Structure 1
């Protein structure tokens, strides 16, 4: 890799051990993937925030950064942590877990990261421009940024995103290069009026089929951002898909397709098969959980209005997972009051996957999230009831 004189000084440790570690990590990644240089980034989304996922080793790693008093050099947001930072006692999170989680949050605060704790940073202020280079971790956020916004990022790991946040640069390879953003498969979709759970099932199937490829979807119309979010998240969970295109919808679709690509057709029979695979339980849930990725205000509003219209009184716990920003607006709009009156909670900062729900007594989780449907059995040892959230609430 070519390094500037300033980058060489950082690499040689002239600006301290932490910056040296960060630069060494980025250069090593660049060497592995054939990058010719480092390029500036405009923002970072840092994963590895939940104590459940990083444990004591990760906490010790973050302490080293916080104690050296280094700071991020670009706007940097955090992925969900393992609990609602403010309401963990009310929700029943274990106290020993909370203590470690709060220390992790404090470490990130000391280095200047925004304590946003959301997997939808593009809804809360970290919104890159088209073709802007960024360094984002968290698979669904990466997919949305690359595909829907048209920004450029690889699927970074937590340490690499943190290193990029501090250095302000990332290796120039992978999805940062235009030639690597072309479609590899054409997906013909023959499904009428799909809901979010159907898009989750579609993403689950396509991800397993194309592996690390770049799908190009045809025959998808009238899809909103929440549905695009669900589609990309499910693909990223069931595979390594970090970029997809939708004909006449996503910004790079026109230039992303060639004629000689493998074509795959998906219809409702395939969706039904996906539902059977994602459903691992036919008993009643002890937790209904939506918001993986975090819910938008539109999703919260739809659930609140549905609960109110149908006079729903819940027989199990309900978590609607979202960001601090969306929760604050939901409070003002009265949606939180409606949901709490029915027996549910709007839970911020976390989600069912990175929270220690298995230690909190939740064994059977109902969800409309294809991403959660993939991760819950392995990450949380949970059985899954997968389907349309309104049917589940009824």
Structure 2
């Protein structure tokens, strides 16, 4: 579900895709016939390893400085499962003194995180849990931030348009590693 959520956000932000169907996955299209109402699609796009590598390279094209000063996770907003994964990756670790770690989640899940150990783990590590925000849409960033790491294709696409901003795109684990070390070492997995 998390990967489908990320795909939906990226398609909306970076493309001209108003609607998509994944037969057997999206509720309104159990198969290709239902997705296209019995008609033939105008075009078919194949997405394989080469296309995935091209997309990864494009999302990382504006980044060259490996020193990261901002990490943003949660676009679309982090689920409770994703907050748990972040806390697992942060457990017993500290965010580098030159890095700001922002994690965005819906207000209802922030309330749940506050009642569990999630908010405490994130805070003690040096991160900040934000609710109902979208830094990419609002063009909000920490003062002086120039090199960001994110696991969101939507954030990466939007932030590369910010003047002077370099953006690294990779996995959640790569982003947490960058938050802790202050260095980007991510790669396509």
- Bin for the TM-score computed over the shorter chain: 0.7 to 0.9
| Equivalence for 2:187 | none
Quick check: 1:356–1:380 contact (8 Å CA) kept in 2? Answer: no
Offset, 1:286 = 0.5
Aligned with residue 281 of structure 1, among 54, 63, 68 = 63
Q: Which one has the largest radius of gyration?
A: 1
| Equivalence for 1:260 | 40
Aligned with residue 235 of structure 1, among 1, 11, 25 = 11
Give the Cα separation in 1 of the matches to 2:141 and 2:164: 9
More helix by share: 1
Offset, 1:379 = 4.3
Helix, strand or coil at the partner of 2:45? strand
TM-score scaled by length of structure 2: 0.81
| Cα deviation 1:178-206 (Å, max 9, x = unaligned) | xxxxxxxxxxxxxxxxxxxxxxxxxxxxx
Offset, 1:366 = 0.3
Quick check: 1:296–1:326 contact (8 Å CA) kept in 2? Answer: yes
| Equivalence for 2:171 | 388
Runs of 4+ in 1 over 6 A off after TM superposition: none
Any gaps of 5 or more consecutive residues in structure 1?
A: 1-223
TM-score scaled by length of structure 1: 0.40
Higher relative contact order (CA 8 A, sep 6+): 2
Where do residues 242-253 of structure 1 align in structure 2 (5 Å cutoff)?
Answer: 242-253=18-29
Give the Cα separation in 1 of the matches to 2:26 and 2:168: 31
Give the Cα separation in 2 of the matches to 1:300 and 1:314: 16
| Equivalence for 1:102 | none
Any gaps of 5 or more consecutive residues in structure 2?
A: 178-189
Offset, 1:264 = 2.1
